[in-house]
Structure 1
Amino acid sequence: MARSTNWRIASRHFCSSEELPLTEFLVESPFQPSGDQPAAIAKLAEGINGGLRYQTLEGITGSGKTATIAWLIEQVQRPALILEPNKSLAAQLASELREMMPTNRVEFFVSYYDYYQPEAYIPSSDTYIEKDSSINEEIDRLRHAATSALLTRHDTIVVASVSCIYGLGNPIEYKNHMLLLEVGMTIDQRQLLRRFVDMQYHRNDLIVERGSFRVRGDTIEIQPAYDQEAIRLSLFGDEIDAITFFNPLTMETRGAVTEVTLFAATHYASSSETLMSAMHRIRAELALRLEELEREGKLLEAQRLRSRTE
C-alpha cells in the first residue's frame, strides 16, 4: 500500500555525528606505517582519545605526514576537518586523501569566488563602486557536497581553507530544508514542486542543470546543487513509482534507488517566517537610519541607502 507523507516528517534531522549510520574509516594503501610513523600515530591517537586539545605533528617535506594523518583518522575513527592556508594546498591534500581512503567521503571546501570586488566610495570624485563578484560553479558544487556529506555520512573528512570559518547560513534552517523521497510514497505533484521552490531550486523545462528541475508529464527531473548527476522521479498517479540517477548531459541512466535525500540549492535557505521577520527588522532599521541622515542634511547618502535597500 502506498504511504502518504508529510514534508516535515520526511525531512531528516541529524543533530550530531553519533546519529549517522556508522561507516568505518579505512585506509587502502600498499604501504604500511614505517619509521617514526607508528609511534607518531599511537601518540597522537592517545592524545585525541584522552581529550588532549592541541598536538603538533612535525616532519620534513616527503616524510609522510599526509599518510600519517590518514592512518590516524583510521585509528581513532572520527570525522575530521583539516585546514590548509590556501586553495592549492587544500586541493593537493584532498586528492591524496581520496587516493588513500577511496571508500570514505573526502570533501573539498574553499572559497567559491573567482573574482570579488567589495563596494567602495571615493569621496574626492563622489564615486560609488558597487560590489561585484563571480562564483565558480564547480567549487560551489563541492561546497554543497561537503555539507551534504556531513549530514548523511559519519565517515566524512573535509579538507578546507580558512573559508570554512566564515558564516554559512543557519544550519538548523538548512536541515529543515532536507527532503526525503521514497519509492511508494504518495505525494501531490504541485506541493512537491512548491517544496522544490522553497528549497531554492528553479524550474527550467528546457535543460537539466545544477540547482534546477523540470517537469514532463508524470516525470520530474531535478539536479541537486551538490551532485554531477540528476535525479528522475517517475510517478504513477500520486505515487512515486521509481527513483533513478542519470547523466544530465548524455541522459544515460546510472542506476535506481529506493530513496533519496535532497538538500537545498543554497546554504542560505530560510523559512518564510524567517524571511518576513528579517524584512520587518530591515524596514524598521532603514526608517531610523534615513531619518538620522536626513536630519544631518545628508540627502545624497539617504537617497543612495534608500535605492540600495528598497
Structure 2
Amino acid sequence: MFGSSLSFVVRSLFDQSDRPFLLMFRDKEEAAYYLNDLEQMVGESDVLFYPGSYRRPYQIEETDNANILLRAEVLNRINSRKKPSLIVTYADAVFEKVITRKELEKNTLKVAVGDQISIDFINEVLHEYEFRRVDFITEPGEFSVRGGIIDVFSFSNDNPYRLEFFGNEVDSIRTFDVETQLSIEKQKKITIIPNVENKFFRDKRESFLDYISKETVLFIQDTELLVAQLDKLFSKAAESFEKLNATVSHVSPEELFVDRKTFLSQAELFTVVELGSNASFEAKENFTFSIQPQPSFNKQFDLLLSNLSENRSNGIRNYLFSSNETQAKRFHDIFES
C-alpha cells in the first residue's frame, strides 16, 4: 500500500469496529506520518500516540518528559475503559516495558467535585508520587498549594488541574493554561498519576502487549523489520547493562525491555493484520489492493492535469484531498483557470 491509502483503510475498519486498534511502525518518522493522517480522518480524541520515553537504555537522565506524558496518557486511557481508541506507535516504544495495570491502579489518585478530601491528604499523596512542590507549576510532576487551592500537573493530561476547596470539600476542578493562568475547561472528575517511567516502578513491569486488552487488533508494518529493530535495541541495552557500575544494583534488560522472541509470542495471542508482502504469522486470509504510487509532478500542474484527464478517460474517478481549506481553494482556482 502506498501513501495515505493505509490510513483510509484503517479509518474505515475502525469506524465499523468496536475494538481498539494498535498500529505499529518501524520508526518514529513513519508513525508520525500516519498519526497525522489518522488525527485528521478519525479525530484527535480517538487517536493516541505512544512514543518511546528515552534515547538510550539505562540513561534515565535523558528521558523525554513530553514523551513520558504521552505514554502516561495512553496507559491512563486504556485503564479508564472509555471508548476504544486507535493507538499509533513504533518499535522503540514497544521495546520498553510499562508499569503493570495493577500498579497503575494502585498509584492513581481519583478526585471528583464534591469529594470529601483534605488538602493535607492530597499533599501527602503527591509527595509519595514524587511530585515536586513549587511556587508555580510549569511541567508534569509539579504541584503548588496556595490557601484553599491546589495546582497539580498530572502525567495523565496535557494541561495542569486547579482544585479549589471549600473546607475539606472539592468545590471545583478545572484545567488551566500554564502561561496565562487562565481557565480552559471545567472538570467533574480527574485522575492524577505519577511518572510511570519512574525507577520506583521499575521492578513491577510488563510488556505493552501484556498491558493492552486482548481484544485489540494489531496492525504491523513489516513485522520482520520491526522485530529486527527490537533485536538491535535489546543488544544495545545488554551492552549498556554490562558497562554499569557493579557496586550499584540495576534491573536486568530482560525485566525492562522486550526482545524479538517475547514480542512474537505475545503478538500471536491477538488478531494481527500484517502490512506488507512477507508474513511472519500464519495468515488466515490475504487481501490484495490494486494501488499504485502517485506519479511525481514536481509542482508542474500541467502534468497533474494531464494525469487526472487520463484517469478520467480510463473510467477512474479522481479525488483530491487537502489538509486545509486554503489548500483546497488553491487547487480549485488552478483548475478553474
The normalised TM-score by structure 2 is 0.56
78, 91, 114: which one aligns with 2:19: 78
Residue 202 (structure 1) shift:
1.9
Per chain length, whose mean CA-contact separation is higher, i.e. which structure has more relative contact order (CA < 8 Å, sep 6+)?
Answer: 2
Amino acid in structure 2 at the alignment position of 1:236: F
Query: Taking structure 1 as reference, are residues 81 and 71 closer, same or farther at Cα in structure 2, changes over 3 Å only?
Result: same
Q: Secondary structure at the match of 2:49?
A: strand
Q: Secondary structure at the match of 1:185?
A: coil
Q: How far, CA to CA, are the matches of 1:266 and 1:198 in structure 2? A: 13
Residue 181 (structure 1) shift:
0.8
1:174 partnered with 2:111: no
Q: Judge conservation of contact 1:174–1:270 (CA < 8 Å) in 2.
A: no
Q: How far, CA to CA, are the matches of 1:198 and 1:133 in structure 2? A: 21
Which residue of the partner structure matches residue 235 of structure 1?
165
Amino acid in structure 1 at the alignment position of 2:94: C
86, 95, 106: which one aligns with 1:157: 86
Amino acid in structure 2 at the alignment position of 1:254: I
Residue 228 (structure 1) shift:
2.5
Q: Judge conservation of contact 1:94–1:108 (CA < 8 Å) in 2.
A: yes
Residue 103 (structure 1) shift:
6.0
Amino acid in structure 2 at the alignment position of 1:169: I
Q: How far, CA to CA, are the matches of 1:132 and 1:142 in structure 2? A: 17
245, 251, 255: which one aligns with 2:185: 255
Q: How far, CA to CA, are the matches of 2:197 and 2:102 in structure 1? A: 11
54, 75, 80: which one aligns with 1:147: 75
Q: How far, CA to CA, are the matches of 2:34 and 2:4 in structure 1? A: 14
Which residue of the partner structure matches residue 128 of structure 2?
198
Q: Judge conservation of contact 2:50–2:87 (CA < 8 Å) in 1.
A: yes
96, 109, 113: which one aligns with 1:183: 113
Deviations 1:156-182 (A, max 9, x none): 111111222431122210111122211
Q: Secondary structure at the match of 2:139?
A: coil
Q: Judge conservation of contact 2:138–2:178 (CA < 8 Å) in 1.
A: yes
Which residue of the partner structure matches residue 135 of structure 1?
63
Across the two proteins, how many residue pairs are aligned to each other?
207
Q: Secondary structure at the match of 2:79?
A: helix
Deviating beyond 6 angstroms after TM superposition, the runs of 4 or more aligned structure 1 residues are: none
| Structure 2 gap ranges (5+) | 205-244, 251-337
Amino acid in structure 2 at the alignment position of 1:195: V
| Structure 1 gap ranges (5+) | 1-58, 119-130, 275-303
Identity percentage of aligned residues: 21
51, 56, 65: which one aligns with 1:116: 56
What are the residue-to-residue correspondences of 1:62-73 with 2, within 5 Å? 62=3, 64-73=5-14
What are the residue-to-residue correspondences of 1:71-110 with 2, within 5 Å? 71-102=12-43, 104-110=45-51
Query: Taking structure 1 as reference, are residues 139 and 166 closer, same or farther at Cα in structure 2, changes over 3 Å only?
Result: closer
Query: Taking structure 1 as reference, are residues 72 and 140 closer, same or farther at Cα in structure 2, changes over 3 Å only?
Result: same
Amino acid in structure 1 at the alignment position of 2:70: L
